[in-house]
């Protein structure tokens, strides 16, 4: 089986500072992987290298076996690599159905059409309704984002990502800033992601990591120091020292 994503020995320096050093990992279709590490570990830089927002100094990035190292962010999106952000990047004066419709039209290369036309496109409208219904946003379809609770905005961001039909989805702290009362709906949405979708989630909430991930990768000082099962990560001495000390100790007491 061809991996959905392969990162091979990518490196990045800013001046004389090495922020990513020979990092390699792969995701197969259906993988659920959490990327964790201390602040300053290089997680955001790594994701920017994978998505093409930063160019690598060395190494390769492949999607579905195709080398996309020289491709820009939008070209990678077209090839199935989609990212959600730690802070929502939605248009406050647009509605959920407009956001999702725009993503569908972008996916189909029809953004040159007049935006209002999507209501006269039965297939697009049906897909919009389906995605919003799946994420519990159908009652808010025509409400401006500025009037929607933050937790629901995070769900909308996920709907927009899914409308692009990704093969690889990078989630940057999907529940960050969301009230505790709304995190259950987000976790439910994560649990219901397509089974063949490869997901890499950056997350600091270790309880969420252990509920979501089937594999955990730990990044420290720009290098991978652990790649394995969630049940093994707490016991790893290097991970304890670099990141998980307090969580591991609390878990052992519990």
- The predicted model gives 76-101 an average pLDDT of 87
Provide the pLDDT confidence category of residue 39 given band limits of 50, 70 and 90.
confident
244: pLDDT strictly greater than 70: no
Name residues whose C-beta falls within 8 Å of residue 226's C-beta, 6 or more positions apart in sequence: 216, 217, 218, 233, 236, 238, 239
125 falls within a domain: no
What per-residue confidence (pLDDT) applies to 17?
82
For residue 233, the SS3 value is helix
159 falls within a domain: no
- The predicted model gives 80-84 an average pLDDT of 92
110 falls within a domain: no
134 falls within a domain: no
Where is 183: in which H helix or E strand?
Answer: helix 180-191
Tokens representing 145 are: 């984002």
192: pLDDT strictly greater than 80: yes
- Tally of domains within the chain: 1
77 falls within a domain: yes
State the Cα–Cα distance between residues 172 and 41, nearest whole angstrom. 14
What per-residue confidence (pLDDT) applies to 242?
77
- The predicted model gives 187-205 an average pLDDT of 92
What per-residue confidence (pLDDT) applies to 219?
92
145 falls within a domain: no
Provide the pLDDT confidence category of residue 245 given band limits of 50, 70 and 90.
low
State the Cα–Cα distance between residues 10 and 79, nearest whole angstrom. 20
Domain that holds residue 75: 5-89+166-253
Q: List the CATH number of the domain containing 222.
A: 3.40.50.300
Provide the pLDDT confidence category of residue 9 given band limits of 50, 70 and 90.
very high
70 falls within a domain: yes
Provide the pLDDT confidence category of residue 116 given band limits of 50, 70 and 90.
low
121: pLDDT strictly greater than 80: yes
pLDDT tens digits for 59-72? 999 999 999 999 99
Mean pLDDT of the chain: 88
The whole model's pTM is what?
0.88
123 falls within a domain: no
Q: How far is CA 20 from CA 6, 32, 70, in A?
A: 16, 23, 18
State the Cα–Cα distance between residues 200 and 170, nearest whole angstrom. 5
């Amino acid at each position: 089986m061809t991996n959905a994503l392969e990162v091979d020995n990518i490196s990045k320096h800013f001046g004389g500072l090495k922020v990513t050093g020979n990092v390699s990992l792969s995701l197969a279709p259906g993988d659920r992987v959490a990327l964790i590490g201390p602040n300053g570990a290089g997680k955001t830089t790594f994701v920017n290298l994978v998505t093409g927002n930063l160019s690598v100094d060395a190494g390769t990035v492949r999607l579905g076996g195709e080398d996309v190292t020289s491709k820009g962010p939008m070209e990678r999106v077209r090839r199935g690599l989609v990212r959600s952000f730690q802070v929502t990047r939605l248009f406050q004066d647009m509605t959920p159905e407009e956001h999702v419709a725009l993503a569908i039209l972008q996916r189909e290369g029809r953004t040159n059409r007049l935006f209002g036309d999507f209501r006269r496109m039965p297939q697009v409208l049906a897909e919009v309704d389906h995605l919003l219904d799946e994420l519990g946003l159908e009652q808010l379809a025509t409400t401006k984002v500025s009037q929607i609770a933050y937790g629901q905005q995070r769900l909308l961001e996920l709907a927009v990502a899914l409308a692009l039909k990704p093969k690889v989805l990078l989630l940057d702290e999907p529940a960050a800033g969301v009230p505790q009362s709304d995190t259950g709906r987000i976790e439910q949405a994560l649990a219901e992601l397509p089974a063949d979708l490869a997901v890499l989630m950056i997350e600091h909430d270790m309880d969420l990591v252990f509920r979501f991930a089937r594999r955990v990768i730990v990044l420290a000082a720009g290098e991978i120091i652990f790649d394995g099962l969630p049940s093994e990560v707490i016991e790893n001495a290097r991970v304890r020292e670099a990141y998980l000390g307090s969580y591991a100790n609390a878990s052992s007491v519990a």
